[in-house]
Chains A and B, each alone.
Chain A
């Protein structure tokens, strides 16, 4: 029983990582209709910034998160305005190809700058945790989950309670109508992409605390973000939260499924995905387009 409880806790904590990674991905996909294949690379850039600040200047990894966000915001804005905007109205395949290419370029640049060495952010308090009976809750995991929820709240607030958020939603609903009422499309596009990238950067900063950072470590996050959005549904912050937490739970429980080797964990996770796609294609909390 306590074993199950421990795994539920770990699953939720892992889900926190997925939520933070998928928020930006979901936003960009939902509003701009871009499946950003460079999303995982953005995450890893954030991780490297945190690592550099931590290892060179001794900055606490949690304090470097705003820096991650700012740098990635600027990078995202520039990339969208200068590059991706040129194919924004082209068929989906074009943006696919373009973001795929951007991903390759970023990974190769990271390889040149940082070499393929494994980097890791291990602050002093790493490894301490809260013990509740036989259940252990690692502090860092808890903080990560908390920050993921905070990010989700910020995104929800920006989208629903601010003028710029209204503009973003309007563009997502009908770009031509949005332009007619005087919204600067190019600015809103770039801004949306920049916010998505900034969120990826923060997620990266959090991820460096858990796993090793290498130039290629970002690729799985793009896939996982995709899975989270499919699972939860597109176009709502709450859907990303549900999808992320659920995906974390499925992964951890799948790893420990009785009677099956843990090697089946990915198979179980993606089998659930197929079932969701078949019976509820809009995702658990998604809206039908």
Chain B
């Protein structure tokens, strides 16, 4: 409530400011239209509070910027934005309930997605039912998009791309790794990531020698890793979450398991991973939606460098934003561009504009296939080297070389 109050104050102030400037200008400037309400039910507390707050940072970065512009220009009229959050406490069911509340009680005209595939899937039902366009940035499971929904769009690369980039990279290395062990959490996102790897690896001449799931947030993974050890795989992959990536890395060291490549779908890209593991985080790879090193030439909003700077300034951070922040900002950009293109705030027209959107941003290309998935943006592979993240694949956006093979634990 407090936050909403603050938003409203900012809103009124910025509207007044915009009016004042408009009055002083000699050239005709866009008139000020009605305030546009955008809602999001996101995980600010609960088990996914970390990731949820990162997503919120991404939304807020765009919000500050668009308010500084005076709002979104739709058909010659500038509409100031009101961004309203509800805390879904990391519970997917609650997310849907709160989204309904945002739409009916708070009159949200557009929706930014929640955090996580599970919550996105439940929110998509509401968006579809009410005919409200939702652009989401934190639900990568393709299952969300297989139901034929017309109003849900995801700006991020789908789950099946998360770790296949690591396989592509591995195929270029020498000596070429030939065996893969896959450990996967049993949620729908992680299972999709794992399945894609298991299907894809043989086409690159690699054999999957171990493929098992564990319960998400498993208390202890060392038992599972002890099964991997005698197989001595070249590549150990995990599709799961930050806590499990840390636990697996610790358990691999505990059990003295030495693979040439350790790669985890989620986790290593966040600063927490390096903080938690210290130098044991070195040499670890991850698939990332975005890195601060990528080279894209955006058509609007900020360049990659400006974006990193804006983030560091606003959040007084020393580290660059991780991809959760960037993809969330990208969702805002897609929504903004679609409204501008539609020249209307009519939900159905904005939906159509989203469907035909094709724009280059600091986050990469945003363009949706018929299901609403952004399959046009590539994933990149990162490696932690000396505590610093380097983009190592694909070569055309990379700023470093893979350090390969990973040295044995005893030789670090």
Binding site for B on A (CB under 8 A): 3, 6-7, 10-11, 14, 17, 107-108, 111, 115-120, 122, 126-127, 129, 131, 134, 136, 138, 140-141, 210-212, 214-217, 220, 224, 251-253, 255-256, 261-263, 265-266
B195-229 contacts to A, CB under 8 A, are 212-215, 217-220, 222-224, 226-227, 229
Contacts A127-B280, A262-B215 aside, 14 further interface pairs with beta carbons under 8 A come to A10-B226, A14-B223, A108-B45, A111-B45, A117-B50, A118-B50, A122-B277, A211-B243, A214-B47, A256-B224, A261-B212, A262-B213, A263-B213, A263-B215
**Bound complex: CA of A42 vs CA of B1, how far in Å?**
30
Query: B247 interface residue, CB < 8 Å from A?
Result: yes
Of B8-16, B103-111, B249-257, B350-358, the segment with at least 4 beta carbons within 8 Å of chain A is B249-257
Contact A120 B220 (CB under 8 A): no
Contact B217 A220 (CB under 8 A): yes
Q: What is the CB-to-nearest-CB distance from A215 to chain B, in angstroms, rounded to a whole number?
A: 8
Query: B21 interface residue, CB < 8 Å from A?
Result: no
Q: List 18 A-B contacts (CB under 8 A).
A: A6-B229, A7-B223, A7-B226, A116-B45, A117-B272, A118-B275, A122-B277, A122-B278, A136-B255, A140-B254, A211-B247, A214-B49, A216-B90, A252-B222, A255-B218, A255-B223, A262-B224, A265-B214
**Bound complex: CA of A131 vs CA of B257, how far in Å?**
12
Chain B positions within 8 Å of A262 at CB level: 212-215, 224
- Which chain A residue shows the least CB distance to B223? A252
**Bound complex: CA of A111 vs CA of B276, how far in Å?**
18
Query: B53 interface residue, CB < 8 Å from A?
Result: yes
Contact B223 A119 (CB under 8 A): no
Q: What is the CB-to-nearest-CB distance from A208 to chain B, in angstroms, rounded to a whole number?
A: 10
User: B32-65 toward A: CB 8 Å interface, digit per residue (1/0)?
Assistant: 0000000000000111011001000000000000
**Bound complex: CA of A17 vs CA of B219, how far in Å?**
10
Contact A120 B246 (CB under 8 A): yes
**Bound complex: CA of A116 vs CA of B90, how far in Å?**
12
Taking A261-B186, A263-B186, A265-B215 as contacts, is the C-beta distance between A212 and B220 under 8 angstroms? no
Chain A positions within 8 Å of B272 at CB level: 117-119, 212
Contact B219 A14 (CB under 8 A): yes
**Bound complex: CA of A3 vs CA of B270, how far in Å?**
34
Contact A120 B254 (CB under 8 A): no
Contact B226 A119 (CB under 8 A): no
Chain B positions within 8 Å of A251 at CB level: 219-220, 223
Partner of B50, one of A14, A116, A224: A116
What band does the interface of chain B fall in when counting residues whose beta carbon is under 8 Å from A? Answer: 35 or more
Chain A positions within 8 Å of B253 at CB level: 126-127
Query: B409 interface residue, CB < 8 Å from A?
Result: yes
**Bound complex: CA of A242 vs CA of B47, how far in Å?**
30
Chain B positions within 8 Å of A118 at CB level: 50, 242-243, 246, 270, 272-273, 275-276
Query: B175 interface residue, CB < 8 Å from A?
Result: no
Chain B positions within 8 Å of A214 at CB level: 47, 49-50, 243
Chain A positions within 8 Å of B28 at CB level: none
**Bound complex: CA of A17 vs CA of B255, how far in Å?**
18
Contact B254 A127 (CB under 8 A): yes
Contact B213 A261 (CB under 8 A): yes
B78-99 contacts to A, CB under 8 A, are 90
Query: B5 interface residue, CB < 8 Å from A?
Result: no
- Which chain B residue shows the least CB distance to A207? B219
Contact A216 B280 (CB under 8 A): no
**Bound complex: CA of A224 vs CA of B219, how far in Å?**
10
Contact A10 B223 (CB under 8 A): yes
- Which chain A residue shows the least CB distance to B48? A116
Contact A122 B276 (CB under 8 A): yes
Contact A212 B255 (CB under 8 A): no
Chain A positions within 8 Å of B276 at CB level: 118-120, 122, 212
**Bound complex: CA of A251 vs CA of B214, how far in Å?**
11
- Which chain B residue shows the least CB distance to A266? B215
Q: What is the CB-to-nearest-CB distance from B148 to chain A, in angstroms, rounded to a whole number?
A: 28
Q: What is the CB-to-nearest-CB distance from B279 to chain A, in angstroms, rounded to a whole number?
A: 9
**Bound complex: CA of A35 vs CA of B409, how far in Å?**
44
- Which chain A residue shows the least CB distance to B270? A118
Contact A122 B218 (CB under 8 A): no
Q: What is the CB-to-nearest-CB distance from B316 to chain A, in angstroms, rounded to a whole number?
A: 13
- Which chain B residue shows the least CB distance to A213? B276
**Bound complex: CA of A255 vs CA of B46, how far in Å?**
26
**Bound complex: CA of A245 vs CA of B348, how far in Å?**
59
Q: What is the CB-to-nearest-CB distance from B324 to chain A, in angstroms, rounded to a whole number?
A: 12
- Which chain A residue shows the least CB distance to B211? A261
Q: What is the CB-to-nearest-CB distance from A55 to chain B, in angstroms, rounded to a whole number?
A: 9
- Which chain A residue shows the least CB distance to B254? A138
- Which chain B residue shows the least CB distance to A120? B276
Chain B positions within 8 Å of A17 at CB level: 219-220
Q: What is the CB-to-nearest-CB distance from B215 to chain A, in angstroms, rounded to a whole number?
A: 5
Contact A265 B218 (CB under 8 A): yes
Q: Which 8 A-B pairs have the closest CB atoms?
A: A120-B276, A127-B253, A116-B49, A252-B223, A263-B186, A138-B254, A116-B50, A118-B272
Q: What is the CB-to-nearest-CB distance from A249 to chain B, in angstroms, rounded to a whole number?
A: 10
**Bound complex: CA of A120 vs CA of B272, how far in Å?**
9
Chain B positions within 8 Å of A7 at CB level: 223, 226
Contact B250 A210 (CB under 8 A): yes
Chain A positions within 8 Å of B45 at CB level: 107-108, 111, 116, 216
Chain A positions within 8 Å of B247 at CB level: 210-212
- Which chain A residue shows the least CB distance to B412? A127
Chain B positions within 8 Å of A220 at CB level: 217, 219
Q: What is the CB-to-nearest-CB distance from A119 to chain B, in angstroms, rounded to a whole number?
A: 7
Chain A positions within 8 Å of B226 at CB level: 3, 6-7, 10, 136, 256
